[in-house]
């Protein structure tokens, strides 16, 4: 699957207090934190899945920079853990929509 998020993603307001800005943060064994801030750039998201793993690739600047100069983040996780987390997120989403429902 490939998803391209362009102008619709830039500075999209999700509530009155927060603005959606794509980023990735990791912390390695040495405790150091590394961040990729995609800012207001158009981003591309690609998801590759095999029987054993799911890889999520996020890339910015694909329209304006050479491949070796683009900001990116890659996450590769075991498929069973990705499936469990996706299912849990779907269950949370469905129950939270019930709580937020307005009865008229």
**Euclidean distance between CA atoms 99 and 22, whole angstroms:** 27
- Residue 53's domain spans which residues? 2-99
Q: State the total domains in the chain.
A: 1
In this structure, is residue 104 part of a structural domain?
no
In this structure, is residue 6 part of a structural domain?
yes
- pLDDT at site 99: 54
In this structure, is residue 33 part of a structural domain?
yes
pTM assigned to the model = 0.65
In this structure, is residue 78 part of a structural domain?
yes
In this structure, is residue 75 part of a structural domain?
yes
Q: Do residues 22 and 6 make contact, with C-beta atoms less than 8 angstroms apart?
A: no
In this structure, is residue 30 part of a structural domain?
yes
- Contacts of 44 by beta carbon, 8 Å cutoff, 6+ apart: 2, 3, 4, 5, 58, 59, 60, 62
**Euclidean distance between CA atoms 95 and 5, whole angstroms:** 27
pLDDT tens string for the chain (104 positions)?
444 444 334 444 444 445 567 888 888 899 999 888 888 888 888 999 999 999 999 888 777 777 777 788 899 999 999 999 999 988 887 766 555 555 54
DSSP 8-state secondary structure symbol assigned to residue 51: S
């Amino acid at each position: 699957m490939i998803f391209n998020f362009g102008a619709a993603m830039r500075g999209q307001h999700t509530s009155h207090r927060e603005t959606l800005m794509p980023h990735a943060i990791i912390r390695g064994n040495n405790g150091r934190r590394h961040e990729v801030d995609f800012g207001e750039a158009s981003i591309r998201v690609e998801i590759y899945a095999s029987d054993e793993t799911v890889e999520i690739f996020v890339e910015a600047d694909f329209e304006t920079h050479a491949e070796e100069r683009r900001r990116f983040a890659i996450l590769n996780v075991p498929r069973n853990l990705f499936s469990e987390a996706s299912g849990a997120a779907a269950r949370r989403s469905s129950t939270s929509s019930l709580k937020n429902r307005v009865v008229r």
